[in-house]
Amino acid sequence: MRARTDLACWQGSQGRREEFAVRVVLLGAPGCGKGTHSEWMKEDLGVPQISTGDILRDAVKAGTELGKRAKAYMNNGELVPDEVILGMMRERLAQPDAAAGFILDGFPRTIPQAEGLDGILGEQAVQLDRVIKIDVASDELVRRLTSRRVCPNCKAVYNIGFRPPKKEGICDHCGEPIIQRDDDTEETARSRLTVYESQTAPLIDYYKANGLLAVINGNRGFAGAQAETREILDL
Ligand SMILES: [Zn+2]
């Protein structure tokens, strides 16, 4: 495995790091475990995890020119156009911490964004190494998405799969019966997944066509998917 310290040493002695950079896009439906995977990859690779939500928040907070434009759209309840998102992404990817690579999480979402990303990387004379799609069967995704429970009284969050309350159906903190929110019902989960599939299908084809797509099996739980990802990235 390529340890972070070795990377730092190597950069220090050689003054080059291009060879060690890892530029990855992570794709996967809600509930696929993308968040958990980007966490360990970020640690292991020593590269930032970059999401559209984070760069939007940062740019708005910092009051950059693009941040101001984005804020105007959001204040009007409009979607921030690709052109603005891509401008912020260009600025983010030019930051020093992204020079050794990055994990893009939830971006790109559309073909124009994917083409824009290729353009930005082209300006930096670098390219994506891999697009990793975490594949999980839709019944399993629905099971995961519907396993959340909340306490209506103290707002504590549980997961009946991997973080259940000590006593079934009862909040650990205040003893109130826990409930399933409307957002977490099977019907909502299925419709979220349908929307996701239809939005990302063209993106999957795009990355399949340029040979970057790697699909890993996320049905077997975290460890299996992690091992497969390590192999794909040659870690
Ligand atoms: Zn409670």
Dist. CA 78 → ligand 1 center (Å): 36
For residues 70 and 84, what is the distance between their CA atoms, to the nearest angstrom?
Answer: 7
pLDDT tens digits along 50-89: 999 899 999 999 999 999 999 999 999 998 999 999 999 9
| 117-136 mean pLDDT | 95
Q: How confident is the model at residue 120 (pLDDT cuts 50, 70, 90)?
A: very high
Instruction: Kindly state the tokens that stand for 96.
Output: 């020093």
Query: Which residues, including other chains, have CB under 8 Å from residue 199's CB and lie 6 or more apart?
Result: 109, 110
> How high is the mean pLDDT of the chain?
88
Q: Which of 47, 9, 36, 31 is nearest to 223 (CA)?
A: 36
Give distance in angstroms: CA of 39 to centre of ligand 1.
Answer: 28
In this model, does residue 45 exceed pLDDT 60? yes
How far is ligand 1, taken at its centre, from the CA of residue 11, in Å?
50
Four-way CATH pick for 21-134+217-233: 1.50.10.10, 3.40.50.720, 3.40.50.300, 1.10.579.10 = 3.40.50.300
pLDDT confidence of residue 175: 96
| Banded pLDDT at 183 (limits 50, 70, 90) | confident
The 8-class DSSP code of residue 227 comes to H
Distance 152 CA to ligand 1 centre (A): 7
Quote helix, strand, coil % in the chain, to nearest 5: 50, 15, 30
Question: What are the residue numbers of the active site?
Answer: 34, 109, 148, 181, 192
pLDDT tens column, 146-165:
999 999 999 999 999 888 99
Give the pLDDT of residue 8.
39
pTM (2 decimals)?
0.80
Ligand 1 geometric centre to CA of 157 (Å):
9
pLDDT, tens only, 130-151: 999 999 999 999 999 999 999 9
Query: What's the 182 CA to ligand 1 centre distance in angstroms?
Result: 18
Say how many Å lie between the CA of residue 179 and the centre of ligand 1: 10
